[in-house]
Amino acid sequence: MVVASILLMSTLLIFFFSTVVTYTISVITNHVKPFIPNISYTGNEPVESCIFTASLNIVGLLYVIIVYVRYCQYLEEGVIDKYSKNLQKLTFLFGLMGAFGLSIIASFSQKLCLMVHSVGFLMCFSGTFLYILFQTLFSFGSMSKVTPERIKLCRLIVFIIECIIHFIGTSLCFAIVVTYDFSSRKENVTTTDNNLPKKLRNDWLVNLGAGVEWLTLIVNLTFFGLFYGDFKRIIIKSDEIIFLPFTK
pLDDT at residue 80, rounded to an integer: 67
Strand (E) or helix (H) holding 235: strand 234-236
Q: What is the rounded CA–CA span in Å between residue 67 and residue 72?
A: 9
* pLDDT (mean) for 3-23: 92
Residue 218 lies in a domain: yes
pLDDT in tens, 56-95: 999 999 999 999 999 998 888 766 677 778 888 999 999 9
pLDDT, the chain, mean: 82
Residue 248 lies in a domain: no
pLDDT in tens, 181-203: 555 554 554 444 444 444 444 46
Q: What is the rounded CA–CA span in Å between residue 236 and residue 240?
A: 6
pLDDT in tens, 200-217: 444 666 677 778 888 888
Q: Domain containing 146: what range?
A: 2-243
Residue 148 lies in a domain: yes
Strand (E) or helix (H) holding 218: helix 204-225
Residue 126 lies in a domain: yes
Rounded to a whole number of angstroms, the distance between the first and last alpha carbons of the chain is: 25
Domains held by the chain: number: 1
Q: What is the rounded CA–CA span in Å between residue 220 and residue 217?
A: 5
pLDDT in tens, 86-143: 888 999 999 999 999 999 998 888 777 888 888 998 899 889 999 999 999 888 887 7
